[in-house]
Amino acid sequence: MTGFFDLLKKRRSIRDYEEKDVPLDLVKEIIRESCLAPSSGNGQPWRFIIINNRDWIEKLSDESKKNILSFIEQNPDAPLKQYETVLRDKHFNVFYNAPCLVFIGGSKKTGSIQVDCTLAACYFMFSAQARGLGTCWIGLGTNIQNPEIRKQIGMPEDYRIVAPIIIGYPRTIPDTPERMDPHILKTVR
Ligand X SMILES: Cc1cc2nc3c(=O)[nH]c(=O)nc-3n(C[C@H](O)[C@H](O)[C@H](O)COP(=O)(O)O)c2cc1C
Binding site for ligand X (CB under 6 A): 12-13, 15, 136-140, 177
Q: Which residue, 28 or 172, has its beta carbon nearer to ligand X?
A: 172
Least CB distance to ligand X at residue 25 (A): 26
Q: Which residue, 56 or 83, has its beta carbon nearer to ligand X?
A: 83
Q: Which residue, 88 or 151, has its beta carbon nearer to ligand X?
A: 88
Least CB distance to ligand X at residue 37 (A): 15
Q: Which residue, 15 or 81, has its beta carbon nearer to ligand X?
A: 15
Residue facing ligand X at closest CB distance: 139
Q: Which residue, 41 or 177, has its beta carbon nearer to ligand X?
A: 177
Least CB distance to ligand X at residue 137 (A): 4
First to last CA, the chain: 39
Least CB distance to ligand X at residue 187 (A): 26
Q: How far apart are the C-alpha atoms of 129 and 134, rounded to whole Å?
A: 6
Least CB distance to ligand X at residue 97 (A): 12
- Nearest CA to 63 out of 162, 140, 130 is that of 140
Least CB distance to ligand X at residue 26 (A): 21
Our measurement of the distance from residue 159's CA atom to the centroid of its chain's CA atoms, rounded to an integer in Å, reads: 15
28 φ, ψ (degrees, to nearest 5) = -65, -35
Q: Are 132 and 169 in contact (CB under 8 A)?
A: yes
CB-based burial of residue 166 (10 Å sphere; 0-12 exposed, 13-18 middle, 19+ buried)?
buried
Q: How far apart are the C-alpha atoms of 65 and 75, rounded to whole Å?
A: 15
Q: Which residue, 45 or 170, has its beta carbon nearer to ligand X?
A: 170
* Bridge-based pairing state of the strands 47-51 and 100-107: antiparallel
- Nearest CA to 121 out of 167, 182, 83 is that of 167
